[in-house]
Amino acid sequence: MHKDKVVELARSLAAEGFLCSESVLLAISNWLEIKSEIIPRIATGFGAGIGGSGSVCGAISGGIMALGLKFGRDSPKKQEKKPYWFANELLQRFEKEFGSTICRELTGCDFTTQTGRKKYADEKLWETKCRQIIESATSMVFDLISENLLRE
């Protein structure tokens, strides 16, 4: 599957109502042909910056889980690369593109307040901001996997 198709899948999943974290994880797991009853359930709590707290962007969390599907460990034995290199690489790329990895900074909304949630809804930030972030995060994850498969 080509990257544009994977990004389009993430976009359509978000349009269906899946959260940022779920959309990225589902799109990448579909591309990797990994099916599990826990996908997307495992990503649900990471939406809106982890449980609506506005912390780490849910698209990043979903992306890190998706990268873990490909590069995560099955045992604690030593590896050449640090076991979490992929998470760090995604964070760096994301921050370079967006200037932050924090949901409340990316959206300008504090989801823990009625005012913040109202601003998010009134400004339609899900459509105008978050879906773009979902698409970019999915693209970054696709690139990280593709780049590292070429090195194997």
**Cβ of 29: how many Cβ atoms within 10 Å?**
20
Q: Which one-letter amino acid corresponds to residue 1?
A: M
> CB within 8 A of 83, min separation 6: which ones?
72, 73
User: For the segment 58-99, what is each residue's pLDDT rounded down to a tens digit?
Assistant: 999 999 999 999 999 888 887 777 888 999 999 999 999 999
User: For the segment 117-143, what is each residue's pLDDT rounded down to a tens digit?
Assistant: 999 999 999 999 999 999 999 999 999
Backbone phi, psi, residue 59, to 5°: -65, -35
Q: Where along the chain do its domains lie? A: 3-151
Nearest to 120 by CA among 131, 112, 129, 109: 109
Instruction: Look up the pTM and report it.
Output: 0.94
Q: Which H or E run includes 8?
A: helix 3-16
* pLDDT score at 1: 81
To 10 degrees, what angle do helices 20-31 and 131-151 make? Answer: 30
